[in-house]
Each structure stands twice: as C-alpha cells, then as structure tokens.
Amino acid sequence: MATWDPIEGETPIDPSHLKDKSIKTRAQLNIAEAQNILKPIVKYLGSKPSQKLAPFDLNWFQKLHEEMFCDVWEYAGKFRQEDLNIGCKWQSIQTELYKLEGDIVFWIENETYELLELSVRVHFEAVRIHPFLNGNGRWSRLLGNIFLKQNDHPLVKWPEKTIGVEKSIARDAYLSSVKKADTGNLTELIALHNEYLDGSN
C-alpha cells in the first residue's frame, strides 16, 4: 500500500499499519490521533503525576507512546526495527533511552539545569532518538510537559495542530530549532519553549 505524501520533516505515513482501515485521509487521521492523545493528556497533565505514575524509565517511555496511539496505530508503544531519515540506529534505541533515563536522574540530583531547560533536554533527546515509526515529536513534547507538571512548573502550550500535523511557519520554526539543537546549540529550542510557555499555570 502506498504511503501518504509526507509534509516536511515528517516520517512517511504507511496506512497499512492503521488499526481503523476506514481512515482514508490525513484529516481523518489527525482527528483520530487527537482523540487518542487527549486521554494521556488528561491522565498526566490533569493533575500532578506521581513518580510511580510517570517514572521516566524505559518501560514507561514505551507505555506513554502506546497510550497516545493505541487506538490508531498497530505499532503504538513498539520500538521501530528499521532506520529512518532521522533518529539513531534502530539497534541502539534501548541503549539510548537507558542513557536518557540515567541522564535525567543525574541532571535532577545535581541540579545541572533549571527546570525548563531540563525539560527541553528531555524533549530533545527523546526526539533525537526517535524510537518509534511515527508520533515521536508529539510523544517527546508530551514527555517534556509531563516532566514540568511533575515538578510544579508551568507547561509549554504547543500549538500541536500546526507544529505536529500541518506545514506551517510554527512547524518550520520548530524543525529549525531541533536541527540547530542537533549541532549542540539548544538556544533556539529553549527560546521556543519560552515563547509557548503557559503563564496561567
């Protein structure tokens, strides 16, 4: 089955992996994914999540992706077993996520960064690893916000409709900041987080 034409920076979508075969268009897919993702958003951001609920370890990283996409994609929560145009080698995914798990503990214990920058680094490292066939950006951004919620920090109100699923100026700015972060410069990505920071929390 042919894949749908991807937008810039998106992993090509293969509809053969859809659970609901009645989904035929990108608009229908966007609605189905948004409805699915709303459930973990309420679960983890509706109130402060405990360390037990969101332990930021390998198994939970997988579980969160599964919760976000289990109604839509057959591969929800399953690590990819192929290389993509972005991300680490698929054989290194678990090693890289274990490293991220340890880094998070180290950063917290040593107060290496202030909370917002720490969440930016969680978000960036997760999207850099790109563990899943699709949904990595939205999964990584939710990871960052769950970390903030867990630490009583205002959330980043990402315009997910424009950043996550449509070509837009906001998406271009986001992708540009992630590419810059790949060179070791997180300044633009941190600035973007600050731009969308919710001052009402």
Tokens of 55: 């332990």
| DSSP helix/strand/coil, 156 | strand
Here the tokens at position 94 are: 């678990």
pLDDT above 90 for 1: no
Residue 3: which pLDDT band, with cuts at 50, 70 and 90? low
25-76+104-195: CATH number: 1.10.3290.10
- If you average pLDDT over every residue of the chain, what do you get? 93
pLDDT digits (tens, 9 = 90+) for 128-170: 999 999 999 999 999 999 999 999 999 999 998 778 666 788 8
Contact 80, 107 (CB under 8 A): no
pLDDT at residue 34 greater than cutoff 80: yes
Residue 66 φ/ψ, nearest 5 degrees = -60, -45
Using the predicted structure, report yes or no on whether residue 68 has a pLDDT greater than 80. yes
pLDDT tens digits, 83-125: 998 999 999 999 999 999 999 999 999 999 999 999 999 999 9
| Confidence at residue 169, expressed as pLDDT on a 0 to 100 scale | 86
